[in-house]
Structure 1
Amino acid sequence: MLLDPQRTIYRAFGLGSSYAKVLKFDFLLQMAECKVAGRELPDVPHSLLGDIWQMGGDFLLDQEGKVLLSHPSQHPLDRPAMADLLAAMPGKP
Structure 2
Amino acid sequence: MYRAFGLSSSYAKVLKFDFLLQMAEYKIAGREHPDVPHRLLGDIYQTGGDFVLDQEGKVRLSHPSQHPLDRPAMADLLVAMTGKP
- TM-score, length-scaled by structure 2: 0.92
In 2, the alpha carbon distance for the partners of 1:82 and 1:12 equals 24
Question: Is there any run of 5+ residues in structure 1 with no aligned partner, and where?
Answer: 1-8
Matched ranges for 1:55-70 at <5 A: 55-70=47-62
Let me know the Cα RMSD of the aligned residues: 1.3
Task: State the percentage of identical aligned residues.
Answer: 86
Distance 1:27 1:91 in 2: 32
**Runs of 5+ consecutive residues of structure 2 not aligned to the other structure:** none
In 2, Cα distance between the equivalents of 1:38 and 1:90?
Answer: 37
Structure 1 residue ranges, 4+ long, deviating more than 3 angstroms after superposition:
90-93
- Say whether residues 1:34 and 2:26 are aligned partners: yes
The one-character-per-residue Cα deviations of 1:31-54 (angstroms, maximum 9, x if unpaired) are 001111110111211111000000
Q: TM-score, normalised by structure 1?
A: 0.84
